[in-house]
């Protein structure tokens, strides 16, 4: 089976999906904006062919170049797991008559206001929200929705350019920071815990499901540099307290006409136990969430996603063995990492339950914590017991300190 995979090298985790495709027998035709000579050797071994395009986000140009490149060859699938490219993949499918979700369906997963309208039309609880294109529309929407509210890009991802505002003055400040955003969603702020609901679907039905807990909410973590964000997959995801979220999420997939592949949804559990839809993408969660899910069940979802995409089958176990917790660390200070305190003691205390330690080493320049959840690296721990996984994660959050300077 011949598969066109858009951007198989970036973000870096896309290389794992490319591996998965090759391992289930696909011939992978990669499309990206870098020369073949700069691709990692391990990635090149999984590609049948490669097309470099000058501007990967120029949809019209990419469609023409890829169509010319593949003229005379039959293509069976067009896939993309990076949020900015999911509509381009759908346009290529429609152009060539390849099976898969249509442009209109995929737009329902990409346009935050349209997705809420479609989910609401199915009778499901969504935040009150409006599409806004300028400051005047944003202020008018705020008057109707009321404070506190959240303003964020219509087609954003990862909480970038997303702000909680409590007043018109704070809204004006947020709008000034969003000058490059052409369309935004102005929506009701939902009080409560925030979770994910992640799937690998076959014809819209989950073959694999996952819930992870954000501690704290991503918006709060993105607003305070001192926080070490923690995300924990929930081993007992079908417990009574989370049942409303499971039901909501499955109904959202039906409402949006999901096809095959990954989905990553965020939802809220209010103090009264109500599940409220947040948003959803028809792609995997980022920031190592798929790695966490793999550690939760000792499986390889990179390969299982590929098996679904190519053969329509999911063969891995869905048993949930662990609560897997990732902790993202942010150094104190600016410049290069100078030292890490507390890591050795934490590693000794947590012992065999630690599965990854990927903190930036002294001498490495800090990442921009506002631009990436990955921050200055992470540690990942898992345990069958929720309380123990939670304890070890927050020990890392509080007892490991990274310093930067110079």
50/157 same-domain check: no
Q: Based on the structure, what is the number of domains in the chain?
A: 3
Q: Which of 238, 250, 282, 252 is nearest to 124 (CA)?
A: 252
Would residue 118 count as lying in a domain?
Answer: no
Domain containing residue 46: CATH number: 3.40.50.20
**Per-residue pLDDT at 358:** 97
What does the pLDDT profile of the chain (406 residues) look like in tens digits? 999 999 999 999 999 999 999 999 999 999 999 999 999 999 999 999 999 999 999 999 999 999 999 999 999 999 999 999 999 999 999 999 999 999 999 999 999 999 999 999 999 999 999 999 999 999 999 999 999 999 999 876 656 788 999 999 999 999 999 988 889 999 999 999 999 999 999 999 999 999 999 999 988 888 889 999 999 999 999 999 999 999 999 999 999 999 999 999 999 999 999 999 999 999 999 999 999 999 999 999 999 999 999 999 999 999 999 999 999 999 999 999 999 999 999 999 999 999 999 999 999 999 998 888 899 999 999 999 999 999 999 999 999 999 999 7
Q: Is residue 201 located within the same domain as residue 184?
A: no
Is residue 111 included in any domain, yes or no? no
Examine residue 114 and state whether it is found in any structural domain, yes or no: no
CATH of the domain at 276: 3.30.470.20
Contact 349/406 with Cβ under 8 angstroms?
no
Final residue belonging to a domain, choices 140, 163, 188: 188
Express each pLDDT in 340-363 by its tens digit: 999 999 999 999 999 999 999 999
Q: What is the pLDDT of residue 219?
A: 86
The answer as to whether 44 is a domain residue is yes
Domain assignment present for 123? no
Same domain, 172 and 262: no
Let me know whether 246 and 173 are in one domain.
no
- Whether residues 172 and 208 fall in one domain: no
State how far the Cα of 197 lies from the Cα of 202, in Å rounded to an integer: 16
CB contact burial 333-372 (16+ within 10 A = b; e otherwise): eeebbeebeebeebeeebeebbbbbebbeeeeebbebeee
Q: 232 and 152, same structural domain?
A: no
Q: Do residue 264 and residue 401 come from a single domain?
A: yes
Q: In what order do the strands lie in the sheet with 193-202?
A: 275-281, 261-269, 193-202, 205-215, 230-233, 323-328, 377-383, 354-359
What per-residue confidence (pLDDT) applies to 159? 61
- CA separation for the pair 140, 126 (Å, rounded): 20
The answer to whether the beta carbons of residues 355 and 382 sit under 8 Å apart is yes
**Residues 179 and 201 both lie in one domain:** no
* Domain assignment of residue 213, yes or no: yes
Q: Residue 373: what pLDDT?
A: 86
Selection from 36, 42, 37 nearest residue 12 by Cα: 42
DSSP state of 366: P
Q: Give a yes or no: residue 121 inside a domain.
A: no
- Looking at residue 157, what is its pLDDT? 64
**Final residue of a domain: which of 141, 171, 188?**
188
* pLDDT for 154: 84
What per-residue confidence (pLDDT) applies to 232?
98
Among residues 188, 205, 231, which one ends one of the domains?
188
Q: Are residues 147 and 64 in the same domain?
A: no
Query: What is the structure's pLDDT at 180?
Result: 82
184/197 same-domain check: no
Query: What local confidence, expressed as pLDDT, does residue 129 receive?
Result: 92
- What pLDDT is stored for residue 200 in this prediction? 98
CATH code of residue 176: 3.30.1490.20
Q: Is residue 76 part of a domain?
A: yes
In this structure, are 61 and 76 located in the same domain?
yes
Domain containing 22: what range?
Answer: 2-100
Radius of gyration, CA atoms only, the chain: 21
323 and 225 in a single domain? The answer is yes
């Amino acid at each position: 089976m011949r598969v066109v995979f858009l951007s198989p090298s970036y973000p870096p985790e896309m290389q794992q999906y490319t591996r998965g495709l090759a391992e289930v027998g696909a011939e992978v035709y990669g499309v990206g904006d870098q020369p073949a000579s700069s691709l990692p050797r391990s990635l090149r071994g999984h590609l049948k062919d490669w097309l470099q395009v000058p501007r990967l986000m120029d949809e019209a140009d990419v469609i023409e170049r890829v169509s010319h490149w593949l003229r005379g060859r039959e293509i069976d699938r067009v896939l993309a797991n990076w949020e900015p490219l999911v509509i381009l993949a759908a346009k290529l499918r429609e152009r060539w008559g390849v099976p898969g979700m249509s442009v209109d369906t995929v737009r329902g997963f990409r346009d935050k206001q349209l997705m809420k309208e479609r989910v609401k039309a199915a009778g499901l609880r969504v935040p009150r929200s409006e599409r806004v294109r300028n400051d005047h529309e944003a202020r008018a929407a705020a008057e109707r929705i009321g404070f506190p509210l959240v303003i964020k890009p219509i087609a954003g991802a990862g909480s970038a350019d997303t702000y909680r505002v409590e007043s018109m003055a704070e809204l004006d400040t947020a709008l000034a920071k969003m000058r490059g955003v052409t369309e935004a969603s102005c929506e009701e702020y939902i009080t409560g815990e925030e979770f994910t609901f992640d799937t690998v679907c076959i014809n819209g039905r989950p073959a694999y499901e996952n819930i992870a807990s954000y501690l704290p909410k991503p918006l709060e973590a993105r607003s305070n540099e001192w926080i070490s964000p923690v995300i924990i997959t929930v081993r007992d995801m079908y417990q009574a307290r989370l049942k409303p979220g499971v039901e909501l999420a499955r109904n959202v997939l039906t409402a949006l006409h999901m096809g095959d592949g990954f989905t990553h949804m965020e939802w809220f559990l209010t103090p009264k136990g109500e599940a409220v839809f947040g948003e959803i993408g028809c792609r995997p969660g980022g920031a190592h969430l798929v790695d966490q899910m793999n550690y939760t069940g000792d499986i390889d979802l990179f390969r299982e996603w590929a098996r679904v995409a190519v053969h329509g089958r999911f063969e891995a176990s869905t048993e949930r063995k662990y609560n897997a917790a990732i902790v993202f660390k942010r150094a104190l200070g600016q410049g290069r990492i100078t030292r890490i305190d507390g890591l050795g003691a934490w590693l000794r205390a947590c012992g065999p339950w630690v599965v990854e330690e990927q903190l930036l080493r002294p001498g490495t320049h800090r990442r921009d914590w506002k631009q990436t959840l990955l921050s200055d690296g992470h540690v990942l721990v898992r345990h069958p017991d929720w309380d123990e996984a939670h304890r070890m994660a927050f020990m890392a959050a509080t007892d490991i300190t990274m310093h930067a300077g110079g």
